[in-house]
Amino acid sequence: MKRKLNWIDYSIILIVLAIFVVLGIKIKNILPTKSSGENQVINTKREVVLKIEDVREFSVKALEVGDNVYADETNYYFGKIKDIQVEESYVPLIKNNGEVVLTRSPERYNIYLVLECNVLERPNGYFAEGITEIKVNSTGKYKTIGLLFSAITESIEE
């Protein structure tokens, strides 16, 4: 028994084809590509230096080389800690004569984290893992397995 296709059959076929086309376009846009021209996209490994200011010793001990760092707002992977440098924190203090001097802040430290990130370089900026935007001298919230912190992006290096 041979049956002809009616308008319902044709609409179902069109819907299935449309779903395949939309999925194909989505998958093509998600994959990192290298194209030429104005929309050039380059995915590279870079070192991002974050500065955490004026924290206690607990924060210093909570960070370890090899920890994964995630962006707190999006919960996406940001990078892996490659190096940690700790220095003493200083605060400005005003003397009685009005002179401003820097003095050691007791039990406070500044931490420089060097992170190894997969950075997607687009014409409008840098993006860690293609998702989290990275701007030099901007503040962001990040987290590791043992610490939630705010940090300033000091530099993006190759």
- The answer as to whether 100 is a domain residue is yes
Tens digits of residue pLDDT in 36-45: 455 556 678 8
- The answer as to whether 28 is a domain residue is no
pLDDT at 113: 94
- The answer as to whether 6 is a domain residue is no
| Cα–Cα distance for residue pair 91/103, rounded to 1 Å | 6
CA atoms within 13 A on the CB side of 17: 6
- The answer as to whether 107 is a domain residue is yes
Residue 74: C-alpha distances to residues 78, 110, 134 (Å): 10, 25, 13
- The answer as to whether 152 is a domain residue is yes
pLDDT at 19: 92
- The answer as to whether 126 is a domain residue is yes
Tens digits of residue pLDDT in 67-101: 999 988 888 889 999 999 999 998 889 999 999 99
- The answer as to whether 143 is a domain residue is yes
- Structural domain including 111 reads 42-157
- The answer as to whether 26 is a domain residue is no
- Block means of pLDDT (10 residues each) for the chain, 158 residues, are 82 93 76 52 84 92 92 88 93 90 89 91 81 87 92 89
**Number of domains, the chain:** 1
pLDDT at 48: 92
